[in-house]
Structure 1
Amino acid sequence: MEGKSTVILFIDNEPKPIGEFEAPVKFELDSRKLTDGEHTLKIVSKDPTGKEGIKLVPFTVRNGPAITLEGLNDQDVIDGVLPIMINAYGKGNQKQFLIDGSETPKTIPSWIWAALIIFFGWAIYYILTS
């Protein structure tokens, strides 16, 4: 009878594995123990003859509060005073939805202001010329 393959799991470049199992593996990755950001799950498998296989699976953890930013985008070039609005809100305890702070207020886009000015200007012109 032939032996089973083993699977060793690592997170990022940690030298200590998070687990070593016989194949097939059913595993629950608790992302709450990881910091928010980019991570890599490294899977090393060894068959009974000693041959190894490696698979890298990049993933992103986002357990912390969601952060929205208005007024500054990636790689923007800015000058002078810049108004910025930042909102952060958490997901709660996954059993109860948090309504406070979960919606990000946004400013009205300038194209809507322009459309309103044009509409009201036209309406006043129409009323005065009729």
Structure 2
Amino acid sequence: MTKDSSKIFLFVDDDSVPIAELDTPIVFDLDTKKLTDGEHILKIVSQSPTGREGIRNISFTVANGPAIRIEGLKNKDVVDGTVSLMINAYDKGNQKSFIITGSETPQTIPFWIWIIIILFIGWALYYEVTSANIQ
């Protein structure tokens, strides 16, 4: 590269050693598989050819592990007695093929759907009874 391009140093979290030292412009692939799941900060330090520095911090969350889905208990719920839980954990696989087995969590039917179904059946029965009386 030429001396008239800026240099960038990439740091993850509070590491004192950069994960990369690159001349700009560049495309960099950040491999998040080497990071633990959770919150991280990417710190980008740029150095211009004149020696001036710029810093930018970008917060991001890594979620490489299997996704966990739970139904029957929400964060900060108040519960009593026995609580029935439906728990599923599924992985994204290898990004090149889609894993269908276990990737969807079965869910119970929401109560408002039951209400709509009951109302529709009630209306259908009412319609049937009133139209039978007219003939």
State the TM bucket, normalised to the shorter chain. 0.7 to 0.9
Distance 1:57 1:78, change over 3 A: same
RMSD: 2.5
Q: Distance in 2 between matches of 1:97 and 1:13?
A: 35
Could you list the runs of 5+ residues in structure 2 that have no partner in the other structure? none
Q: Secondary structure at the match of 1:53?
A: strand
Change (3 A) 1:49 1:122: closer
**What is the match of residue 23 of structure 1?**
24
What is the CA–CA distance in structure 2 between the aligned matches of 1:66 and 1:6, rounded to whole Å? 37
Once the two structures are superposed, what CA deviation does each residue of 1:22-56 show, in whole Å capped at 9, x if it has no partner? Answer: 22232111111112222111001122333221000
TM-score normalised over the length of structure 2: 0.78
Q: Which digits, 9 at most, give the CA deviation of each residue in 1:50-88, with x for residues without a partner?
A: 322100011222222222121222332333322221111
Q: Aligned in 2, Cα 1:78/1:124: closer, same or farther, shift over 3 Å?
A: same
Q: 2:51: which partner in 1?
A: 50
Does the CA contact (< 8 Å) of 1:7 and 1:25 recur in 2? no
- 1:25 and 1:93 map into 2 onto residues whose CA distance is 26
Q: Could you tell me the TM-score, scaled by structure 1's length?
A: 0.80
Runs of 4+ in 1 over 4 A off after TM superposition: 118-130
Consecutive unaligned residues in structure 1, runs of 5 or more = none
